[in-house]
């Protein structure tokens, strides 16, 4: 298998086209990318420039608020699943140093399911910014829609029914996380903007990967820059999907490195959407991904149990 040295680029409009050959080519390219490097840059998604610009404007306005205002939106006892999470609270699995970032969490807007509505925490409304929540919700919806079609393509690649994932991601426990990496004011002591980690979820859709910073580890162990074009989202496989496919689709270790010293004075913003299924989804290894060469590698577990296990490891919840 060849070693990837750059992130492949694909266009979702090929998958959405009426042309069967174009659609199949998208499925093949996406599947191959996720089996080799675990990342693709995606054009042709459902976010338009106007929405993206509105979101960045609102996010910057929020993080520019005084700290005591932001901290009013930090909800204790919920593992940071909604609202504000202050600087240095989260660390990568196995690391003591908190990452050099603060962030916000928008969660699911549940439709027609009172039981799930009780299970999920409510979204937090920011009083100072009347547009913040509306713009966040619209972005959440468009990224969720984009993710649905990416997962449909992956279902076909895995020889499953095209809509296999639909029921699990409808009202899924997905998170939209605007992140602010503040200017670095002194030589960081071991901490980086985001230490090397794999994502927990099915797939992650990342806005704002246009500048240097995000790096992905290929099969050789080399770190390669993952830089998207302005009209692209960076999309990677998370541990849940890797586990479900017996590691056929790769959840790749990635990190956000500190910028060169001359850029320490600048903030960096990045907005990932973590696509989670409903917590009842069984992540048991798919039968089609098990054979003599690839015996079953993972124990049976639900998405909810797996998420809780990982939130404890990240230091966001306590047992």
Q: What does the block give as tokens for 197?
A: 């980690």
Question: 139: how many CB neighbours lie within 10 A of its CB?
Answer: 24
**What is the predicted pLDDT for the residue at 3?**
54
**Range scoring the smallest mean pLDDT among 39-48, 96-105, 148-157, 296-305:** 96-105
Average pLDDT of the segment spanning 171-189: 85
Give the per-residue pLDDT at 92. 47
- The token pair that represents 89 in the structure block: 């609270």
Tokens standing for 163?
């809509």
CA distances from 283 to 33, 165, 179, 295 (A): 22, 12, 28, 16
pTM, rounded to two decimals: 0.90
User: Pick from 93, 77, 94: which is nearest to 85 by CA?
Assistant: 77
110-136 pLDDT, tens per residue? 999 999 999 999 999 999 999 999 999
* pLDDT score, position 110: 95
Give the chain's end-to-end CA distance (angstroms, integer).
Answer: 41
Q: What tens digit of pLDDT does each residue of 17-36 get?
A: 999 999 999 999 999 999 99
φ/ψ of 40, rounded to 5, equals -140, 155
Range in 26-30, 229-233, 308-312 with the lowest mean pLDDT: 308-312
DSSP letters along 4-49, please?
A: PSS--EEEHHHHHSS-HHHHHHHHHHHHHHHHHTSEEEEES-S--H
Task: Please determine, for residue 214, whether its predicted confidence score (pLDDT) is greater than 90.
Answer: no
Task: Tell me if residue 98 falls in helix, strand or coil.
Answer: coil
Beta bridge partners of 10: 42
Among 223, 197, 216, 211, smallest CA distance to 266 is for 211
Which pLDDT score, from 0 to 100, does residue 210 have? 67
Domains of the chain: 9-313 (2.60.120.330)
Structure tokens at 167: 């029921």
Which tens digits make up the pLDDT trace of 278-299? 999 999 999 999 999 999 999 9
How far CA 34 is from CA of 28, 105, 125, 163, 291, in Å, comes to: 10, 27, 36, 19, 19
- Distance from C-alpha of 17 to C-alpha of 23, rounded to nearest angstrom: 7
Mean pLDDT to the nearest integer, 161-183:
94
Q: How far is CA 77 from the centre of its chain?
A: 23
Residue whose tokens read 């901290």: 71
CA-to-CA dists, residue 9 to 29, 43, 63, 159, 271, angstroms: 9, 7, 31, 23, 19
pLDDT of 94 > 60? The answer is no
Token pair, residue 300, equals 């049976």
Q: 189-203: string of b/e by CB count within 10 Å (b at 16+)?
A: eebbbbbbbbbbbbb
- How far from the centroid of its chain's Cα atoms is residue 75's Cα? 22
Asked whether residue 95 carries a pLDDT value surpassing 60, the answer given is no
Helix residue ranges per DSSP H, the chain: 12-16, 20-36, 49-63, 67-71, 114-119, 132-157, 166-169, 239-244, 303-313
Distance CA 5, CA 89 (A): 33
Kindly tell me the burial class for residue 33, based on how many C-beta atoms sit within 10 Å of its own C-beta (0-12, 13-18, 19 or more): buried
């Amino acid at each position: 298998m060849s070693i990837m040295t750059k992130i492949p680029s694909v266009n979702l409009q090929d998958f959405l086209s009426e042309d069967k050959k174009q659609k199949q080519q998208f499925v093949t390219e996406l599947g191959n990318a996720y089996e080799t490097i675990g990342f693709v840059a995606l054009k042709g998604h459902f976010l338009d420039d106007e929405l993206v610009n509105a979101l960045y404007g609102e996010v910057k306005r929020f993080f520019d608020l005084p700290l005591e205002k932001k901290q009013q939106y930090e909800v204790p006892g919920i593992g940071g699943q909604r609202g504000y999470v202050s600087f240095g609270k989260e660390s990568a699995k196995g690391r003591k140093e908190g990452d050099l970032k603060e962030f916000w969490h928008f969660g699911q807007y549940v439709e027609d399911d009172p039981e799930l509505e009780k299970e999920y925490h409510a979204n937090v409304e920011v009083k100072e910014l009347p547009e913040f929540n509306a713009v966040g919700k619209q972005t959440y919806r468009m990224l969720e829609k984009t993710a649905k079609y990416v997962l449909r393509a992956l279902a076909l690649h895995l020889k499953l029914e095209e809509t296999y994932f639909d029921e699990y991601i409808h009202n899924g426990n997905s998170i939209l996380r605007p992140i602010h990496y503040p200017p670095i004011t002194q030589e960081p002591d071991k901490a980086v903007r985001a230490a090397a980690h794999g994502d927990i979820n099915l797939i992650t859709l990342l806005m704002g990967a246009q500048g240097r910073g995000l790096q992905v580890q290929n099969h050789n162990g080399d770190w390669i820059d993952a830089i998207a074009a302005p009209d692209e989202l960076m999309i990677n496989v998370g541990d849940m999907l890797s586990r479900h496919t017996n590691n056929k689709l790769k959840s790749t270790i990635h990190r956000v490195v500190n910028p060169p010293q001359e850029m320490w004075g600048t903030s960096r913003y990045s907005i990932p959407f973590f696509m989670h299924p409903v917590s009842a989804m069984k992540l048991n290894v798919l039968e089609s991904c098990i054979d003599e060469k690839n015996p079953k590698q993972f124990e049976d577990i639900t998405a909810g149990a797996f998420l809780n296990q990982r939130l404890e490891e990240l230091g966001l919840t306590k047992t």
